[in-house]
Amino acid sequence: MRGDSITTIKSYGYIIFAACFAIQAVGIGSYVAYGVFFNALMSEFQWSRATISGASSLAFFMMGFTGMLIGRLNDLYGPRLLMSVTSLFFGAGLILMSQVNSVLQLYLFYGVLLGIGLSSIDVIALTTIARWFALRRGAMTGLVKVGTGAGQFTIPLIASFLIGVVGWRQTFLIIGLAASFILFCVAQILKRDPYEYQPISRRDSSSSQQIGKCEDSSLSFEKTRKTYQFWNLCIVNFLVIFCLISIIIHIVPHARDIGLSAGQAAGALSTIGAVSMIGRFVSGLAIDRFGSKIIMGACLLLLIISLLWLQAAQSLWMLFLFACIYGLAHGGLFTAISPIVAEIFGIKAHGTILGIVVCFGTTGGAVGPIFTGQLFDMTGSYAAAFWTFIILSTCSLGILSFLKPIK
């Protein structure tokens, strides 16, 4: 009976993995596809890039702000109800974008509603994986984050194709309906951890240990927030996501600026998504072997190299080479966040801690695209913004070097 219990829990663990993979692919893929809509929105409404990217920034800020609450509620009540509710907000934001006619509506529909929907995409998926796969946390997180890359690769291409066929308004409607339906259905599969899946009468300490329920050595949030490691990690995530989201949002219009077609520009964004899948998978495996800090540092070095190359990239092959190098760094950096939280602080308050760390990151991701858009509007070029990203990435690497595990 004990062996059957363990096997059953492990089997359901892979169903949990598939559900979290789908959440990442649909949620993040739909969000990053926003860059494909830039030219259509600028053409129809004559809005500036700063105005359009501001909606994305607000969505990212709402994702982090609401994510703190989602993380706490997830620790207390589990993921199913929260994911079900936020999937409706996610779909509503995209569906209503098909009717947008003013900046106010743009910020309300995409910034607020979609942002609330986004709040559970990372916190719920990554916390659930951390609790189900403690012994292979890095590898399984990496595999789940491959879903993000899969979404980044496929959904912008689908959106670009649909815009050409049915127009941008109908494309928002189609993606919104599909995304909301998928996320809501997947939510019904989710269980907080193996304890919630396994009936109380069938639980035993042996199976629990093998699945990875190891909260006894974890820190509470009250203790965690008093450590310098916590605040260092928050600052690093702020700076890193500031850079990463700014690039994702502005790489398509930058590609158009240097003479690439709409299809080639969308292809560059999709290449980032495709290569980031490799980065997520490899970094996940490497984290289990070398630790999150070393892998984050290596990915930051790759990010700096890619940004230096981007300054010189003025042709199709050069931009796609940037997309490959950057994609590896992008995938690895997003993969490392959840494992490093569990590695340093444990999983007792993982949802709460990750929610706050993610909030710092999403605040950076909210400020970054606006800052980038404003710099472009002021200078007529992305060069100043790209140099800023290089400086901030270097600062992140320096701060990361002071981050040490709590014994």
Q: Nearest-5° angle of CA 71, CA 77, CA 82?
A: 65
List the single range of 26-35, 132-141, 147-156, 258-267 with lowest mean pLDDT.
132-141
Q: Which helix (H) or strand (E) holds 261?
A: none
> CATH number, domain at 334?
1.20.1250.20
Give me the pLDDT at residue 1, please: 45
Q: If pLDDT is split at 50, 70 and 90, which confidence band does 389 have?
A: very high
How many distinct structural domains can be found in the chain? 1
pLDDT of residue 355: 81
Which of the four pLDDT bands, split at 50, 70 and 90, describes residue 165? very high
> Rounded to whole angstroms, how far apart are CA atoms 53 and 23?
24
- In the numeric block, the tokens 């940004």 are attached to 307
Helix (H/G/I), strand (E/B), else coil: 403: coil
Q: Are 28 and 148 in contact (CB under 8 A)?
A: yes
- Is residue 407 assigned to a domain? no
Distance between CA atoms of residues 4 and 71, nearest Å: 32
Q: If 0-12 CB within 10 Å is exposed, 13-18 middle and 19+ buried, where does residue 278 land?
A: middle
pLDDT grade for 20, boundaries at 50, 70 and 90: very high
Burial (CB count within 10 angstroms: exposed 0-12, middle 13-18, buried 19+), residue 1: exposed
The structure tokens listed for 280 are 């997520």
d(CA 134, CA 52): 40
pLDDT at 200: 37
pLDDT averaged over every residue in the chain: 84
Buried b (16+ CB within 10 A) or exposed e, 95-105: bbbbebeeeee
Residue position matching structure tokens 């947008």: 100
Please name the residue ranges forming H helices in 188-227: 194-197, 205-211, 221-224
Q: Judge whether 67 lies within some domain.
A: yes
Is residue 406 a part of any domain in this protein? no
Q: Is 222 exposed, middle or buried (0-12, 13-18, 19+ CB in 10 A)?
A: exposed
Residue 348, amino acid: K
Q: Is residue 405 part of a domain?
A: no
Q: Could you please report the per-residue DSSP string of 97-162?
A: HTT--SHHHHIIIIIIIIHHHHHHHHHHHHHHHHHH-STTHHHHHHHHHHHHHHHHHHHHHHHHHH
Q: What is the pLDDT of residues 202-236, one digit of tens each?
A: 444 444 444 444 544 566 666 777 787 888 899 99
Residues 6+ apart with CB under 8 A from 71: 123, 127, 351, 352, 353, 354, 355, 356, 358
pTM: 0.74
Q: What is the pLDDT of residues 190-206, one digit of tens each?
A: 886 666 555 433 444 44
11: exposed, middle or buried (C-beta count within 10 Å: 0-12, 13-18, 19+)? exposed
Q: Which residue type is seen at 185? A: C
- pLDDT at 70 (0 to 100): 86
Q: Distance (Å, rounded) from C-alpha 292 to C-alpha 295?
A: 5
pLDDT tens, position by position, 330-388 = 989 988 888 888 777 777 777 778 888 888 988 888 788 888 888 988 988 888 999 99
- Is residue 264 assigned to a domain? yes
Q: What is the number of other CB atoms lying within 10 angstroms of the CB of residue 190? A: 23
Range of the domain at 391: 2-400
Distance between terminal CA atoms of the chain?
A: 37
Q: Please check whether residue 306 lies inside any domain of the structure.
A: yes
Q: Is residue 87, in this structure, part of any structural domain at all?
A: yes
> Per the domain annotation, does 259 fall within a domain?
yes
- From the list 166, 130, 148, the residue with the least C-alpha distance to 32 is 148
Confidence (pLDDT) at 216:
47
